[in-house]
Amino acid sequence: MRPTTLAASCIALCSAPALAQPFSIDFFTIDGGGGTSSGGGFTLSGTIGQPDAGTLTGGGFTLTGGFWGVAAADGPCNAADLVPPFGITDLGDIDAFIAAFLVAGPAADLVPPFGIVDLGDIDAFIAAFLAGCP
């Protein structure tokens, strides 16, 4: 047997068991903890993990918490982001634009001449929709 063939055979035999190793990703959560922070007339109380996942409201403020999501946007990210969930352009935004366009509503009047809903507004909506949210 040639030395290169022997070396290649040894490498193949030694590396084969490494490919067969089982993989595992265990799931862990941190439940509890947290505390209260305050300043400037505001107070924020919270915990880490499952106990307070969801929406907390009070005093005209809303705090949304949860897992494995993207940060919620405060409002529309562009002219095509017409309805919640804000920060994402989706089919709901298309439906809202069509409904506004059919009645010449202000939500569909995106470019001059303002006061007239026309094909320019459709082009502007499509461009904003395709640009998406940052």
User: Token digits for 125?
Assistant: 């909506």
**Quick check: 88 and 97 in contact, CB under 8 A?**
no
pLDDT of 69: 43
What pLDDT, on a 0 to 100 scale, did the predictor assign at position 75?
A: 84
Scored b (16 or more CB within 10 A) or e, 23-52 reads eeeeeeeeeeeeeeeeeeeeeeeeeeeeee
The predicted structure's pLDDT at residue 41? 74
**55-71: average pLDDT:** 62
110 or 65, higher pLDDT: 110
Mean predicted lDDT score pLDDT of the chain? 76
Instruction: Give the pLDDT score at 1.
Output: 54
Nearest Cα to Cα of residue 128 among 78, 75, 93 = 78
pLDDT at 52 over 70: no
- Across the range 100-105, mean pLDDT stands at 94
The helix (run of H) or strand (run of E) holding residue 4 is helix 3-19
Task: Calculate what percentage of the chain has a pLDDT beyond 70.
Answer: 56
* Residue percentage of the chain with pLDDT more than 90: 38
> Whole-angstrom Cα distance, residue 11 to residue 13?
6
Structure tokens given for 21: 């190793």
pLDDT score of 66: 57
CA 58 to chain centre: 25
